[in-house]
C-alpha cells in the first residue's frame, strides 16, 4: 500500500499548497491512502467544516488533529458528522468525535488511523501508551487492518521515539506532528514500523512555526503580548512522509520524506518516480 502523510497544514498558505500539489501526488504516485494533520488549518488555529471538506475533496482520506482540535468551536459539533476527522484518542471520556477511524483505501483495503497527543511539555491527558495499546489490540494489523498509521502529536522527540518503539511491529507508520519542523530521522524500525519524529508543517517556512515573525519576536524580546498570532502568507512547503507497506504483513518496505514547494529544499520519494 502506498501511503502519504501530510504534516500540520498551517493557514491559507498551507491549504493552497495542499490543493495545488496533493492531487498530482495522488495521481503520479498512485497513492492508496492520504492522511493529513489539519489542526492548524483555519488561520493557524483549529479546523472548520468547510476546510475539512476542502481536504476531503482534494483526496485526503483522514484528517488528524491535536492540541488545537477545538480552537474553532464548530469542530466540537461537526466532528460527529465528519467520519474522516480524528481527534486525539487520549482526550477525556465524553469528548466528541473519535480517536481512530477505519478507512477504506483506494486499493480496496482497510486502514486504521489513530491520533494521540503527548504529555511532555503539553497539557497532559490520558496515558497515550495505554490508549494507543488499546487501539492496536482492538484492531490489530493484518487480522483487522491492512495498514495502521499513528499520528502522535507531541512536543518532545523522546516521547515520540518512545511511542515509535512501543508500536514497532504493530503499526505500519508512526509519525510525529506538532513541532512544525521536519526531522531527518525517517527510518524503518527493527520490527518493521516506519517512523519519523516529525513530518514538518505544510506552511510558509519564512515564519516562526508558521506564524508571521513579528509578534512572536516581540513576545520573545519584550515578554509582552501585543497582538494576535497570524499565519505567514508566503508560499508554503508541503511537508510529509511517504511509506510503502507490504500487502501481506502490513509493515513498511520503504520510507522517504516529502518536501515540495515554498522555501525548503525539495525532496520526493525516488522509489515512486516514473
Ligand atoms: Fe499542535
The residue among 12, 20, 60 whose CA lies nearest residue 36 is 60
Structural domain of 21: 2-272
Catalytically annotated residues: 68
Ligand 1 centroid to residue 198 C-alpha, Å:
11
| pLDDT at position 214 | 96
* 172-182 b/e (C-beta count within 10 Å ≥ 16 → b): bbbbbbbbbeb
Q: Alpha carbon 135 to chain centroid distance? A: 18
Span from the CA of 6 to the centroid of ligand 1 (angstroms): 14
Spatial separation of the C-alpha atoms in residues 41 and 15, rounded to whole Å: 7
Residue 274 pLDDT more than 80?
no
SS3 56: helix
Write the pLDDT tens digit of every residue in 117-165: 999 999 999 999 999 999 999 999 999 999 999 999 999 999 999 999 9
Domains contained in the chain, number: 1
Cα 249 to middle of ligand 1, angstroms = 31
Question: Is residue 4 over pLDDT 70?
Answer: yes
Looking at residues 44-52, what average pLDDT do you find? Answer: 98
Three-state DSSP class for 173?
Answer: strand
Residue 87 is predicted with a pLDDT of: 98
The whole-model pTM stands at 0.98
Q: How confident is the model at residue 273 (pLDDT cuts 50, 70, 90)?
A: confident
- Distance (angstroms) between ligand 1 centre and the Cα of 179 equals 7
CA–centroid distance, residue 59 to ligand 1 (Å) = 23
Give yes or no for residue 248 having a pLDDT over 90: yes
pLDDT for the residue numbered 218: 96
Using the predicted structure, report yes or no on whether residue 106 has a pLDDT greater than 90. Answer: yes
pLDDT over threshold 90, residue 200: yes
* Of 199, 207, 196, the residue nearest 11 (C-alpha): 207
Q: Residue 234 to residues 17, 43, 55, 210, 270: CA-CA distances in angstroms?
A: 11, 14, 20, 10, 27
Of the pLDDT bands very low, low, confident and very high (cuts 50, 70, 90), residue 49 is very high
CATH number at residue 238: 3.60.21.10
Amino acid at each position: 500500500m502506498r501511503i502519504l502523510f501530510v504534516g500540520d497544514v498551517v493557514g491559507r498558505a498551507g491549504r493552497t499548497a495542499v490543493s495545488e500539489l496533493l492531487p498530482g501526488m495522488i495521481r503520479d504516485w498512485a497513492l492508496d491512502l492520504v492522511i493529513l494533520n489539519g489542526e492548524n488549518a483555519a488561520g493557524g488555529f483549529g479546523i472548520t467544516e468547510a476546510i475539512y471538506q476542502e481536504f476531503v475533496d482534494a483526496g485526503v482520506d483522514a484528517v488528524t488533529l491535536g492540541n488545537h482540535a477545538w480552537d474553532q468551536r464548530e469542530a466540537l459539533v461537526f466532528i460527529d458528522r465528519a467520519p474522516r476527522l480524528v481527534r486525539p484518542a487520549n482526550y477525556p471520556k465524553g469528548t466528541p468525535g473519535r480517536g481512530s477511524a477505519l478507512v477504506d483505501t483506494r486499493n480496496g483495503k482497510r486502514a486504521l488511523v489513530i491520533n494521540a497527543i503527548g504529555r511532555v511539555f503539553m497539557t497532559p491527558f490520558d496515558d497515550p501508551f495505554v490508549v494507543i495499546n488499546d487501539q492496536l489490540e482492538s484492531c490489530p494489523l493484518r487480522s483487522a487492518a491492512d495498514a495502521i498509521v499513528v499520528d502522535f502529536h507531541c512536543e518532545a522527540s523522546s516521547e515520540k521515539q518512545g511511542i515509535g518503539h512501543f508500536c514497532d511491529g504493530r503499526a505500519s507508520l508512526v509519525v510525529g506532528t506538532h513541532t512544525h519542523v521536519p526531522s531527518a530521522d525517517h527510518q524503518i524500525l527493527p520490527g518493521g514500523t516506519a517512523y519519523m519524529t516529525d513530518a514538518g508543517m505544510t506552511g510558509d517556512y519564512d515564519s516562526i512555526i508558521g506564524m508571521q515573525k513579528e509578534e512572536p519576536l516581540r513576545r520573545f524580546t519584550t515578554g509582552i503580548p501585543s497582538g494576535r498570532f497570524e499565519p505567514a502568507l508566503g508560499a508554503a512547503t508541503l511537508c510529509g512522509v511517504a511509506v510503502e507497506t507490504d500487502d501481506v504483513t502490513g509493515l513498511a518496505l520503504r520510507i522517504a520524506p516529502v518536501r515540495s514547494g515554498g522555501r525548503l529544499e525539495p525532496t520526493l520519494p525516488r522509489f515512486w518516480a516514473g
